[in-house]
Structure 1
């Protein structure tokens, strides 16, 4: 198999993805996680630029290609890591925050990626602090835009959002993301936001959003078996 790179979700550290990384490597796809820690996300707070994350993503992917003498990788983006990956793939310069020029070349990397797998990614959002970045993604790269790239979008169905104990967080998160609180999702991302038009869209029962949450998440053994078949 091709090597694989995992891009963590927002404010997540690479260490929580180690079990998934090790499991995928054991299956024959040498896997690396972008070596992020929580402080690496601090410059991006409040809807600011994702350039610091793109720099580390680009470095990790180039190292994976070199170390494995490969020309392409599989890219897995968890949560926000999925839509940040779509910025990386696209050819339009991500200069909307004024912190880099077109010479940065932290995008237009589609030729390096064989498959993009997103896990619980909010591909849409009504949150004011994410709109600038996500509007850039969806205005320029709507849906599964590139026909030469395979998109696999995985959603979890574990918590129905309601205004009552145990479901209030899900309700609030779903409402901020897609405008509807009374819907199904993984506790953070509603199903409809985790899918992309034109992609291979998968919904898995019982899956929760975070690797830190009690129960099963996207990287749990009984769940990952339903999407690893798409790795090239």
Structure 2
């Protein structure tokens, strides 16, 4: 599941240097859960007229065309900040794991690495959960356990899962972003879904990024 949301800040007055007068003085704060976070990074970069794709040549051509037309590639003037929740910020680099985004995540990370526009005034905050440790032995068991599930999920995201901590879907190490204000929340999971699909008692202490406790 991925979501992107926004809220406005500002209440009038002169627009900031990055805010177009036609849009008023308000800017938005982007909030992206899971894939919504790296898509938010791409939105801030706003390559006009181009789409996310895995072909470096096509991406370069789009950037060149935009530059030739004197169209800025970023940062988007209406964005004040981006907060990501459990976002995998980099493609898998180990174990030969297949990039489930078809190359889009790698392209975004190469075009706008880390807090790409922090120096231009965009604030980046990356929130990562640390709740479940992946276990290869549990993954091989016939019983469905959250540790086994986490092992498989972490392996898909980062290429390794045994002994890795994360929010049960994204490893903690993959959800931090270089140059951002990184926050690690102990006991916080990726999704609102409880453990009913596993051979374990769900319990009443399930906390995810959208929980009041988080």
Question: TM-score, normalising length from structure 1?
Answer: 0.61
Q: Name the residue aligned to 1:188.
A: 169
Instruction: Quote how far apart the aligned CAs of 1:115 are.
Output: 1.1
Conserved? CA contact 2:34–2:88, under 8 Å: yes
Where in structure 2 are there 5+ consecutive unaligned residues? Answer: 10-21, 93-97, 139-144, 196-205
In the alignment of these two chains, the number of paired residues is 163
Counterpart for residue 108 of structure 2: 137
* Match in the other structure for 1:230: none
User: Does the aligned pair in 2 maintain the 1:125–1:176 contact within 8 Å?
Assistant: no
1:153 and 1:201 in contact (8 A); partners too: yes
Q: Does 1:158 align with 2:131?
A: yes
- Give the distance between the partners of 1:204 and 1:96, measured in 2 at CA: 31
TM-score, structure 2 normalization = 0.66
- Pair 96,83 (structure 1): closer, same or farther in 2 beyond 3 Å: closer
1:121 is matched with which residue: 78, 87, 95? 87
User: Does 2:195 align with 1:222?
Assistant: no
- Please state if 1:170 is matched with 2:150: yes
Residues 113-164 of structure 1, C-alpha deviation per residue, up to 9 Å, x if partnerless? 1110000001112333314101111111111111221100000011000021
Q: Which runs of 5+ in 1 are unaligned?
A: 1-8, 30-64, 224-232
C-alpha separation between the residues in 1 aligned to 2:29 and 2:194? Answer: 25
Displacement after TM superposition at 1:95 (Å): 2.9
Structure 1: distance between partners of 2:91 and 2:149: 16
1:200-221 CA-partner distances (Å, limit 9, x unpaired):
0010011010123361111211
Runs (4+) of structure 1 exceeding 4 A deviation are none
Q: CA RMSD, aligned part only?
A: 3.0
Indicate the residue corresponding to 1:48 in structure 2.
Answer: none
Partner Cα separation in structure 1 for residue 46 and residue 29 of structure 2:
18
Where 2:190 maps in the other structure, the secondary structure is: coil
Q: Aligned partners of 1:197, 1:131: CA distance in 2, in Å? A: 23
The structure having more radius of gyration, on CA atoms, is: 2
Q: Which residue of 1 aligns with 2:44?
A: 89
Q: Secondary structure at the match of 1:221?
A: coil
The equivalent position to 2:33 in structure 1, one of 78, 87, 105, is 78
